[in-house]
Structure 1
Amino acid sequence: MAVNFSESKTKENLMRAFAGESQARNRYTIAAEKAKDQKMYTIEDIFLYTAEQERAHAERYYELLKDLSGETIFIDGGYPVDQQETLAELLRAAEHNEKEEYEDVYQKFGDIAKEEGFLEAASAFYQTAEIEHVHQVRFGEVAKLLEENQYFACDQESKWICTNCGYIHEGKQAPKVCPVCRHDQGYFLPYAFAAYKGEGR
């Protein structure tokens, strides 16, 4: 059914999504600071990397509202308060929130936009939902490694990469200090999470 955009539910959902992504970005930058304080620099990077993607999502939703520039959109909504103390708890909270966006929130927003005839907005909701699923899985996997004390150690031979200099260590435990650049263990990332591994690595 064709709906006037200014009177649509999609308009409100885009603003809810913009608000939600903006808050997620801030939550992740705050979590990154906690990781930095604990000298867990690669977890800081994971939070900041995800925060920047949330900013990009917010920007996309904001762009889709450009026809209402100069107006104020009033919305209601519920947003999480994640003040957990440990990094594992912060990661689990982030995993939960991303799961809700992927499975519930953006699917519903996409369905409504499609029904109202706003196919570009529908596509943005559906595609962003898939990205949030990637975030969910990554946060969950990192949390699990921390909970099982396997972020820097493993029962079998594994790999870690120093995110400062690129040194790749193979063994059952990441070095306390990088033998190349002398940065401490907090700069080591389980190699499975390395973005650019190259062929045969």
Structure 2
Amino acid sequence: RNKYTFFAKVARKEGYHYVAKIFEETAINEMRHANDHFKLMGGIADTIANLQEAIEGEDYETTTMYKDFAAVAKEEGNMEAAVKFEMIGKVEAEHRDRYKKLLARVKAGTVYTRDEPITWKCSLCGYLHEGTEPPEKCPACAHPKEYYEPANLDTDI
């Protein structure tokens, strides 16, 4: 997502659907450009490297960036912004911790296996399956197990 996605929502709300469509098209174009630039800079690797990069980025945001933003906002007397930055820093910590769990699972080869049964959800059709791993193929839509995720991403990631 980028600013054009947000601009499109405003345009649509104000009744400018044609303008919203142009903003949305531009948002897609800009995302493609960013993806290409990121690849050229070597910023996209395998999943393990990408998770490690994500952990580092989220850790910086929670331990440094948003704390610094909050400190500046306080110095400027903008307590509303300071509180928001502190809250966002907490969210970034959750992102970091989630990525750490995912990295451990990818490294251990346990993304699609659990020691105890959980509820797995097909991310395409919503079919639910109880077990230590998802079925090889979704019985409802026939997509492979790679489309399954833990139904409760808060506890079963």
Which of the five TM-score ranges fits, normalised by the shorter chain?
Answer: 0.5 to 0.7
The list of structure 1 runs, each at least 4 consecutive aligned residues, that deviate by more than 6 angstroms after superposition, is none
Contact 1:98-1:132 at 8 Å conserved across structures: yes
Equivalent residues in 2 for 1:159-198 (5 A)? Answer: 159-193=119-153
> How far, CA to CA, are the matches of 1:126 and 1:133 in structure 2?
11
> How far, CA to CA, are the matches of 1:128 and 1:156 in structure 2?
33
> How far, CA to CA, are the matches of 1:160 and 1:86 in structure 2?
25
Equivalenced residues, count: 118
> How far, CA to CA, are the matches of 1:82 and 1:134 in structure 2?
26
Q: How does the TM-score come out when normalised to structure 1?
A: 0.52
Contact 1:102-1:130 at 8 Å conserved across structures: yes
Partner residue of 1:136 out of 65, 72, 96? 96
Q: Kindly provide the CA deviation profile for residues 32-69 of structure 1, in whole angstroms up to 9, marking residues without a partner as x.
A: xxxxxxxxxxxxxxxxxxxxxxxxxxxxxxxxxxxxxx
1:145 matched residue in structure 2: 105
Equivalent residues in 2 for 1:109-120 (5 A)? Answer: 109-120=69-80
RMSD across aligned C-alpha pairs, in angstroms? Answer: 2.4
Contact 1:151-1:190 at 8 Å conserved across structures: no
Percent of aligned positions that are identical: 29
Q: SS state of the match for residue 106, structure 2?
A: helix
Q: SS state of the match for residue 164, structure 1?
A: coil
Q: SS state of the match for residue 139, structure 2?
A: coil
The runs of 5 or more residues in structure 1 that have no matched partner are 1-25, 31-80, 195-201
> How far, CA to CA, are the matches of 1:155 and 1:127 in structure 2?
34
Larger RCO, structure (CA 8 Å, separation 6 or more): 1
> How far, CA to CA, are the matches of 1:159 and 1:88 in structure 2?
25
Equivalent residues in 2 for 1:30-69 (5 A)? Answer: 30=35
> How far, CA to CA, are the matches of 1:171 and 1:122 in structure 2?
45
The runs of 5 or more residues in structure 2 that have no matched partner are 1-30, 36-40
Contact 1:82-1:93 at 8 Å conserved across structures: no
Q: Kindly provide the CA deviation profile for residues 16-47 of structure 1, in whole angstroms up to 9, marking residues without a partner as x.
A: xxxxxxxxxx6xx95xxxxxxxxxxxxxxxxx
Q: How does the TM-score come out when normalised to structure 2?
A: 0.65
> How far, CA to CA, are the matches of 1:96 and 1:82 in structure 2?
16
